[in-house]
Structure 1
């Protein structure tokens, strides 16, 4: 709830911390300037949210803006930004947001273009896997690579099929069953190196060994095709029985009814033998080509082009089907696909490439000072092989009492690195010597420090991050302020609430309504007949005689969207009215006039109204407390710009 309310304030937030402020002063609060640039940026940010031109009133937004500035000042005067609860939540969010900005940099144009090109095609491939740990030693890596090369040479020379050799050599357990065949797949379906190997290999060829986190792969590309996207269809299925002619005749009869205008979903619910989809009008989950166990069904589904159009009855191994196209999602233009591609790239193994790029950019930003880059002290004093034996940091004597690395006023000591070695030795377990292990761990130690430093100082580097974090800070302050001054005060003061209710009782009333019946049908002729019958017979009897008409018996508020606008609220039967694509007859049995809602039932509405009154009074006091002066010349320029 708290986070939701914070976003209500966001349109007033986002102060410019980087751009040079314009000398144009929009207003002053107690003599302190507020620049036109700040208001202009906030107002511009929200123009897209305002649909009606007449609502884009600079004066109204200026009032809101001034109220916001006064509220933030009040929160700071009350020292709400020094509370432990505030700082805990603010610092946690700041850290989480910084991590997001650091780890998810802008995706490079090259990766985007590559992904888009691949998105337009799909690959059918098989593979042979040679298992290898991601942290394997150079010796083990070379050994597995040579094994993969020898098997590849055998494939190229042998008359045996790739599938039979996959069953013999692949360490992927599924290969024993499928001969290494992975079927059809597209971009983002496989780990990035494997995907690259598959897309870069020609049809019928076998790739050189491709290294992934699972090991080395030999990839044979069986085929490639254009990505036709995915479709959503519904179907009516007539299950195959012992009487094939009757099955076919039933399918053809249903097809004829559809041609004559019958509703596809209704027929599916009534007649389809696929009971799992029949209850949903025959609708299947969206699918790509190759995902169903019927190539014929897929081909017919993808050949449908008109939404709501349907096929002739087709025969598959499951029986007869009539297929209706509900939606078709083909590959869009680069601009249309860009957002989805960016999101998928950041979730994909490509993210490691982005993270590496981010780290390199961070290194370029700062000049890290190293006291002992060659780690002379550690190489001299560590007596165990760090890659194989546990090092206790406490065993190191005469450890220098100073920073090993320093950046600005911050740094990490020799002792910090000693403890880091102890905590992260497993990362160096594949290395042979202590100097090798120390070099790897030291590089990670420096990288971790740089990323942490960058995170803590990101608002000085990244303007977008600085704006977002400032928005969140002020949102937290305003939430706490409003809770303290308005929301809790209104909820807890029951006497004041009761007094407010007594004074404004006529504002808390039930809406005008009526008890009656709404009947609807697509046939105007039938509705006229129904109207005549309703005047003569009871509702129960009429309902029994008109089974094709939809009846709704209830209490209806006068603003109910199911009521036609021309309806006159008086007892009796009226219509038929044309409304929402149907014809409607309405019978009004009793009209309910608005009634005052008892205090107990209206308490939520009373609290909301009382809170609004309190806030208006409080804002008036803030306006009186502070001296606000608006520069009319600057305001006129803003109006000219936005209006």
Structure 2
């Protein structure tokens, strides 16, 4: 049988009575459980649900306390039933924890800066060209320097007057450069890898950047134009597709038909019906030719320019030709870039999936290393050069080769990680068909991944000890889930079988 003891019956109108976080308010006892609940926990829940710092009606506080006690008694009952030990419960709670922990594992100031920077970029479209010299992400210093110096020489030639596009066609290792001269057209935020985007947006018109490193290699970037963002547009189109090897007869008949349809539209023809009847884009023809909203860089150049040149909703373009065939476009709706606060949730999602996210993670790892007095023995890491060989690139490296490596490798806070721990990580994460690179470079890259992983794991595991807000938030989720499961088990599940029992329980 459960019983509880209320340790303080005196509540002042001011909440200063709850100043001590560990001061007990309620003790719940049963045969298997003894649970102490602090005044601080009750104060926090009360303020959160009532949005008050002061209590005008002491009676309402006492009523809320009674509800709080009943809630905690039901949670205790659920725990005694073992509902918190079920795998389904643990899995769901762990999922909530992962989501709740994210803000604590990034730097809020840097995150906000990245969001605002992305928004500023979204306000403009940029047209740029690039010359790429490919270099592997794990290339050694010698190969990296070679690529950098090569681009520096090309940059000097451009600054002396040689044509960027001509050099791109000859030198660039981007396959599309041979036709485009390296021109990427107009693009906006999130359409290029972040390091590339950042440099492009900070160039002046006709300026050529210094070599820029991305995961693809080194780039020289030339900015041609920067314009106010076009925003997004929703259109419908009637498309008459043409095969790449169409005969002259097919080409002529298709052109004749598209201009005939255009003539009908000018005389008041129904766009939706004509799209449904004639358009060869079957994914949109059933919807009257309607497409989803799109912005810069999402459609072929000719289609995009025609769509955005329409002045008002309902306007219809003349037939335009693209690589896909002929199109007639009708503007349905256009929207400009929305305000920052409106776009912020979308920006957060995009940043979390973008290479920007690694900037925040790197920053927080370095911050935590300093906080936890990170220490690293570089000599012990170099000993792996003797035991690791090229078999690691085919997934065939044997961990036995490192059996004599048992020394401490790095430490922080109260944690020590040995060479054996790193050996196990190397063994478990090896995969087949990896590109071969110098072993010291490979070890260095893998060590950084391992070290960062352990620092973040430690921080994540200790969030409850470090942040009261996180601890009590997790407690709310834990208790709320248990109450739901208890209610489901004792009421709703029974209700489907016993309506009399339901009335009795309620």
Normalised by the length of structure 2, the TM-score is 0.72
Q: Establish whether residue 268 from structure 1 lines up as the match of residue 271 from structure 2.
A: yes
Deviations 1:537-558 (A, max 9, x none): xxxxxxxxxxxxxxxxxxxxxx
Q: Establish whether residue 280 from structure 1 lines up as the match of residue 315 from structure 2.
A: no
Q: Which residue does the alignment assign to 1:310?
A: 314
Q: Establish whether residue 461 from structure 1 lines up as the match of residue 470 from structure 2.
A: no
Q: Which residue does the alignment assign to 1:129?
A: 132
SS of the aligned residue for 1:152 comes to helix
Q: Is the 8 A contact 1:387 1:437 kept in 2?
A: no
Choose which of 41, 56, 71 in structure 1 pairs with 2:74: 71
Q: 1:441–1:131: structure 2 CA closer, same or farther, 3 Å change rule? A: closer
Q: How is 1:377-456 mapped onto 2 (pairs within 5 angstroms)?
A: 384=386, 386=388, 392-393=399-400, 396-397=403-404, 399=406, 405=411, 407-408=413-414, 410-413=415-418, 415-420=420-425, 430=437, 445-456=450-461
Q: Which residue does the alignment assign to 1:349?
A: 355
Distance in 2, Cα, partners of 1:385 & 1:366: 30
Choose which of 104, 111, 114 in structure 2 pairs with 1:111: 114
Q: 1:156–1:385: structure 2 CA closer, same or farther, 3 Å change rule? A: farther
Distance in 1, Cα, partners of 2:47 & 2:363: 31
Q: Which of the pair has more CA radius of gyration?
A: 1
Q: Establish whether residue 181 from structure 1 lines up as the match of residue 190 from structure 2.
A: no
Q: 1:280–1:182: structure 2 CA closer, same or farther, 3 Å change rule? A: same
SS of the aligned residue for 2:268 comes to helix
Choose which of 223, 226, 236 in structure 2 pairs with 1:224: 226
Q: Establish whether residue 481 from structure 1 lines up as the match of residue 486 from structure 2.
A: yes
Q: Which residue does the alignment assign to 2:371?
A: 365
Q: Establish whether residue 251 from structure 1 lines up as the match of residue 265 from structure 2.
A: yes
Q: How is 1:319-334 mapped onto 2 (pairs within 5 angstroms)?
A: 323-325=330-332, 327-334=333-340
Distance in 2, Cα, partners of 1:398 & 1:195: 44
Deviations 1:173-208 (A, max 9, x none): 222333322111001110011112221222223322
User: Cα RMSD between the aligned structures?
Assistant: 4.4
1:138 Cα deviation after fit: 0.7
SS of the aligned residue for 2:221 comes to strand
Deviations 1:458-517 (A, max 9, x none): 1122344324422332233224423432233334x4xx45xx4xxxxxxxxxxxxxxxxx
Q: Which residue does the alignment assign to 1:154?
A: 157
Q: Is the 8 A contact 2:21 2:39 kept in 1?
A: no
Q: How is 1:593-632 mapped onto 2 (pairs within 5 angstroms)?
A: 611=502, 613-616=503-506
Q: Establish whether residue 298 from structure 1 lines up as the match of residue 304 from structure 2.
A: no
Q: 1:375–1:139: structure 2 CA closer, same or farther, 3 Å change rule? A: closer
Q: Is the 8 A contact 1:362 1:450 kept in 2?
A: yes
Choose which of 195, 200, 204 in structure 1 pairs with 2:197: 195
1:283 Cα deviation after fit: 2.4
Q: How is 1:474-513 mapped onto 2 (pairs within 5 angstroms)?
A: 474-491=479-496, 493=497, 496-497=498-499, 500=500
SS of the aligned residue for 1:108 comes to helix
1:122 Cα deviation after fit: 0.7
SS of the aligned residue for 1:254 comes to coil
SS of the aligned residue for 2:267 comes to helix
Q: How is 1:136-147 mapped onto 2 (pairs within 5 angstroms)?
A: 136-147=139-150
Distance in 2, Cα, partners of 1:415 & 1:460: 29
Q: Is the 8 A contact 1:251 1:321 kept in 2?
A: no
Q: Which residue does the alignment assign to 2:215?
A: 213
Q: Which residue does the alignment assign to 1:528?
A: none
Q: Is the 8 A contact 1:428 1:440 kept in 2?
A: no
1:90 Cα deviation after fit: 6.0
- After TM superposition, the structure 1 stretch with the greater mean CA deviation from structure 2, 463-472 or 182-191, is 463-472
Distance in 2, Cα, partners of 1:170 & 1:375: 38
What is the number of equivalent residue pairs in this alignment?
446
Structure 2, unaligned stretches of length 5 or more? 1-17, 30-35, 53-59, 241-252, 392-396
Distance in 1, Cα, partners of 2:446 & 2:379: 14
Q: Is the 8 A contact 1:387 1:430 kept in 2?
A: no
Q: 1:60–1:365: structure 2 CA closer, same or farther, 3 Å change rule? A: same
Deviations 1:214-257 (A, max 9, x none): 001122222221102011134679998659997665333218xx
SS of the aligned residue for 1:310 comes to coil
Distance in 2, Cα, partners of 1:61 & 1:362: 41
Q: 1:26–1:300: structure 2 CA closer, same or farther, 3 Å change rule? A: farther
1:136 Cα deviation after fit: 0.7
Q: Is the 8 A contact 1:95 1:455 kept in 2?
A: no
Distance in 1, Cα, partners of 2:319 & 2:399: 73
Q: 1:455–1:80: structure 2 CA closer, same or farther, 3 Å change rule? A: same
SS of the aligned residue for 1:287 comes to coil
Deviations 1:298-323 (A, max 9, x none): 2443x22xxxx433774545889573
Looking at both structures, which has the greater relative contact order when contacts are Cα pairs under 8 Å and sequence separation is at least 6?
Answer: 1
Q: Is the 8 A contact 2:21 2:38 kept in 1?
A: no
Structure 1, unaligned stretches of length 5 or more? 1-18, 47-56, 256-266, 501-609, 617-643
Distance in 1, Cα, partners of 2:22 & 2:384: 61
Normalised by the length of structure 1, the TM-score is 0.58
